[in-house]
Amino acid sequence: MRRTSTVDTRGIYPQPNTQANLRLFCFPYAGGAARIFRTWGDSLPKMVEVCPVELPGRGKQIRLAPFTRLQPLVEALAQALLPHLDKPFAFFGHSMGGLICFELTRHLRQQYGLNPVHLFISGRRAPHLPARHSPIHGLPDSKFLDRLRRLNGTPQAVLENAELMELLLPILRSDFEVLETYIYTSESPLNCPISAFCGSDDPEAHPDEVGEWQMQTRTSFSLNTLPGDHFFLHSAEPSLLKIITQKLLHHISMIVHQ
């Protein structure tokens, strides 16, 4: 039986690095687990400690109930991550993960006066743009799966695995409910740079829509278009990590010389 929704950060450091100057917390897409970031520590600078965040209902948190609303999830994440924000940190999020780390950044600023040194948003339209699709999280299984295929927001190999989908369906429904019940509220722009990424052939996050993230920061912004569809973070991973490395090395240089 699943317990009440919460967030457990045990195992957040798959490759502990006490000498790191900066921590990069990574948030997955809908239905995704922390393991999608398992190799990032091998490619990013040694001064960066990669911290994949496992959301409830999957991976090592399979017995925890998934959240169905963003604000309670953000509040739980803030409480769980707070002890790990004792050194400079950055956030990376793909698709749903991008929205999570954006609202988490706003929550940390408001409640604790904390800001990441950089926010990396990947495969996600700007939050102030209106939704382009009607909600799907309440549809019957067959229609829900059909819409998932058409939205191209879940890997095809996952959709074709019946046993895996039986386990994933409740998680996917919960994740889509998080996204589809989200209501954007206007606040002052963030105090950290934002680097946004989009796939050249992503039907869910067009470059002009991803470029709208520029409105959410008072500092620097960059838009990076990489080859691929909605899951370009896998197919174009070397290019993605190269850009992230460049940005993080700049911050590390500033941290070291303070």
Residue 140 included in any domain:
yes
- What count of residues does the chain have? 258
Is it the case that residue 9 has pLDDT exceeding 80?
A: no
Please tell me which residue, 16 or 134, carries the higher pLDDT value: 134
Is it the case that residue 1 has pLDDT exceeding 60?
A: no
| Pairwise CA distance, residues 194 & 102, whole Å | 10
pLDDT of residue 13: 65
pLDDT of residue 211: 98
Measure the CA dihedral 44/48/49/54, to 10°: -60
Catalytic residue from among 5, 95, 134, 253: 95
Closest CA to 208 of 186, 225, 230: 225
For residue 64, list its beta bridge partners. Answer: 3
Residue 12 included in any domain:
no
Helix, strand, or coil (residue 130):
coil
Residue 19 confidence class, pLDDT cut points 50, 70, 90: confident
pTM given for the model: 0.92
Does residue 95 carry a catalytic annotation?
yes
What are the CA-CA distances from residue 181 to residues 128, 140, 143 (Å)? 14, 18, 19
Residue 44 included in any domain:
yes
Q: What is the mean pLDDT of residues 181-197?
A: 97
Is it the case that residue 10 has pLDDT exceeding 80?
A: no
| Pairwise CA distance, residues 94 & 122, whole Å | 4
pLDDT of residue 14: 67
Query: 10-16 contacts: CB < 8 A, separation 24 or more?
Result: 10/60, 11/54, 11/60, 12/51, 12/52, 12/53, 12/54, 12/84, 13/49, 13/51, 14/38, 14/41, 14/50, 14/52, 15/41, 15/49, 15/50, 16/49
Measure the CA dihedral 144/31/235/102, to 10°: 110
pLDDT of residue 196: 98
Residue 96 included in any domain:
yes
Q: Summarize pLDDT for 25-43 with one digit per residue, the tens.
A: 999 999 889 999 999 999 9
Residue 65 included in any domain:
yes
Residue 242 confidence class, pLDDT cut points 50, 70, 90: very high
Residue 179 included in any domain:
yes
Question: Structural domain tally of the chain?
Answer: 1
Residue 168 confidence class, pLDDT cut points 50, 70, 90: confident
Q: Give the range of the structural domain holding residue 93, as residue numbers without chain letter.
A: 22-256
Residue 9 included in any domain:
no
| Pairwise CA distance, residues 145 & 154, whole Å | 10
What mean pLDDT value characterizes the chain? 91
Cβ partners under 8 Å of residue 65, min gap 6: 2, 3, 4, 5, 56, 57
**Are the CB atoms for 235 and 227 separated by under 8 Å?**
yes
Looking up residue 209, the CATH number of its domain turns out to be: 3.40.50.1820
**Are the CB atoms for 226 and 200 separated by under 8 Å?**
yes
Q: Summarize pLDDT for 83-127 with one digit per residue, the tens.
A: 999 999 999 999 999 999 999 999 999 999 999 999 999 999 999
| Pairwise CA distance, residues 173 & 182, whole Å | 14
Residue 3 included in any domain:
no
